[in-house]
Each structure stands twice: as structure tokens, then as C-alpha cells.
Amino acid sequence: MRLYLASTSPARLAVLRGAGIEPICFSPDVDEEAEVAAREAELGRALTTSELTEYLGRLKAEDVVRRHGPGTPDSPGTGEIDGLVLGGDSAFLLGGETLGKPHVPEIALARAKQHRGLSGVLHSGHWLIDCTGGAVRGAAGAVDTATVTLSADVSDAELAAYVASGEPLELAGGFAIDGLAGAFIERIEGAPSCVIGLSLPALRRLVIALGHDYTALWNRAGG
């Protein structure tokens, strides 16, 4: 059974490959800021961190299915999908504030200093759509979390060097345990893969919830 990843994230791809899964990747076309603003206006309140990550994961998966799956009578897709489509999103909750990707060095450095010596919660949202047989047969979502504590003794110079590397700019929360910041992380509580951007335990539960065997996704040597 084939897994289609609605993401171009190298980190999510690496997690899946390490778990014996070689997905087919599609780039979703979602205006995240506009979609979140519209959803919050509809609800009359801000989305929680969990709601935000699952909602964006859902939009990404649905966009890929719409364009590359069976589509709709008004907007037929290419029909090239036959399997499970996974969309995901991540955000970091620190001090009651939901943090996405910092994008610029100044914000990345400020967040790193704010996080120093504290624990934050990384939320990883997932949405899985069953398109086996070339038809949409169901969907399910899940959010997993992991608590991450940054060492209190990390110096300003170390944080500045990390930001200067460019690594944290496009990472939720501004760090990666599987990269240069791994030496700064004191403790993780939860699934390590969740911190990287995709929770393998959550994926397994979703696959089972849709009536499939998780091990059927193993299509890579060593998986």
C-alpha cells in the first residue's frame, strides 16, 4: 500500500524513510494564513494549537487529493493517487503562545532565548485520507505532542551561532533535535518523531482507524 505525503518537508520525509516508508511527495497549495483567519472568523475565536495543526494538516491533504486524486465532478483530479494521503503541520506552544516558523533570524534568536531553561510543547497535527482503489473512502485526524526542555546553560553566543547557521528559520519553534540544536535539548517527553515533525505512533493509529495494516506501508529496505 502506498503512502502519499502532502508535504515537501525534508524532515517529515526523513522520518518516514527511517521508518521503512518511501512516500510519494506532493506539494500542497494552501494559503495557511488566509485559511486560518477564515476559520477563526467562522468560529468567532482563535484556534487552539492542537486545532491549528490538525486543521492545516487536513487542508494540505485535501488539497493534494483534490488535485491529484479522483477530484470532484466540477474539478476532476489527475487520478494518480491510489493509497493513503497524509497531511501534517507543527507548532510550538511556549508560555501560552503558539509559535510557528520564525522565518527571520531576529525572531529565531528571541524565541531561542525565551525557550532557554524552559519547557514547551510541540504539537504535530496529522490528517490521513483513504484513497485506496482511487476513491475517497474515509479520513481521520490526530494530534500528538511532545514536551521539549532547552538547557538553561546554553549561552547567548551558542544561540547566536545556531541562528546564524540558518537551521531554525523554517522549523516550528525554531529548533531541531536531529540537527545542530540536538546538543541544546536537555529533555524530551513524548514521541521523538513528533518533535521532528511527524508522529509515527499517531500515523500508525490513523492507519489502523481507517481499517488498514500499518506494516503494509513498509516499502523501503530495512523497513
Report the pLDDT averaged over residues 7-30: 95
Its pTM stands at 0.91
The one catalytic residue in 29, 31, 89, 153 is: 89
β-bridge mates for residue 190, sequence order = 146
| Topology of domain 2-217, CATH | Maf protein (3.90.950)
Q: What is the pLDDT of residues 65-106, one digit of tens each?
A: 999 998 777 777 898 999 999 999 999 999 899 988 899 999
Known catalytic residue: 31?
A: no
Q: How far apart are CA 66 and CA 59, in angstroms?
A: 10
Query: Which residues lie below 8 Å from residue 50, measured CB to CB, with a gap of 6+?
Result: 123, 125, 143, 145
Q: Write the burial class of residue 61 (CB in 10 Å: 0-12 exposed, 13-18 middle, 19+ buried).
A: buried
Whether the predicted pLDDT of 152 surpasses 70: yes
Going from the C-alpha of 144 to that of each of 61, 132, 158, the distances in angstroms are 17, 25, 30
Helical H segments across 87-180, by residue range: 105-115, 156-164
